[in-house]
Amino acid sequence: MKEFQTKNQKVSPLKPGTKAPNFTLKTTPDQHVSLRDFLGRPVVLCFYPADWSPVCSDQLGLYAQLMSEFRKFDAELLGVSVDGVWSHLAFSKDRNLNFPLLSDFDPKGAISRTYGVFTERNGESARALFVIDSKGIIRWSYLSPDGVNPGADGILSALEKLKPPGRGE
Amino acid sequence: MAKSNYRPPRLTLPVGERDHVEGPSNARMVLVEYGDYQCPYCGAAYPIVKRVQKELGTRLQFVFRNFPITTSHPQAEWAAETAEAAAAQGRFWEMHDFLYENQASLSNHGFFADYAKKLKLDVKRLEQEVAQHVHLGRVREDFMGGVKSGVNGTPTFFIGGARYDGYPGFGPLITALETAEKG
**Within 13 Å of residue A164, how many CA atoms lie on the same side as its CB?**
3
Question: Could you say which of A20, A43, A56, A128 is catalytic?
Answer: A56
Residue A145: per-residue pLDDT: 81
Cβ within 8 Å, pair A151-B71: no
DSSP state of B47: H
| Residues of chain B contacting residue A65, judged by C-beta atoms under 8 Å apart | 69-71, 143
Q: B4, B136, B152: best mutation site toward chain A, by most A Cβ within 10 Å?
A: B152
Cβ within 8 Å, pair B72-A96: yes
Rounded-to-integer distance, Cα B83 and Cα A35, Å: 43
Per-residue pLDDT, averaged over A48-72, amounts to 88
Per-residue pLDDT, averaged over A35-39, amounts to 96
Beta pairing partners, A137: A19
Q: List residues in chain B touching A: CB distance below 8 A.
A: 1-3, 9, 69-72, 143-144, 147-153
Which CATH number describes the domain made up of B21-182? Answer: 3.40.30.10
| Residues of chain B contacting residue A151, judged by C-beta atoms under 8 Å apart | 9, 147, 150-152
| Residues of chain A contacting residue B11, judged by C-beta atoms under 8 Å apart | none
C-beta of residue A78 within 8 angstroms of C-beta of residue A25 = no
ipTM of the complex: 0.75
The structural domains of chain A, ordered by start, are 4-161 (3.40.30.10)
- Residue A46 is among the residues annotated as catalytic for this protein: no
What band does B3 get if pLDDT is binned at 50, 70 and 90? very low
Which segments of A35-153 are extended strands (E)?
43-47, 76-81, 101-103, 118-119, 124-125, 128-132, 138-143
Per DSSP, the three-state class of B147 is: helix
Cα A71 to Cα A99, A153, B72: the distances in Å are 11, 15, 20
What band does B72 get if pLDDT is binned at 50, 70 and 90? confident
Residue A163: per-residue pLDDT: 63
Helices (H), ranges, chain B: 40-56, 76-87, 92-101, 109-118, 123-131, 136-148, 170-182
Residues B135-177: tens digit of each pLDDT: 999 999 999 999 999 998 899 999 999 999 889 999 999 999 9
Rounded-to-integer distance, Cα B45 and Cα B51, Å: 10
Peptide bond into A165 cis (omega under 30): no
Q: A3, A12, A55, A58: best mutation site toward chain B, by most B Cβ within 10 Å?
A: A58
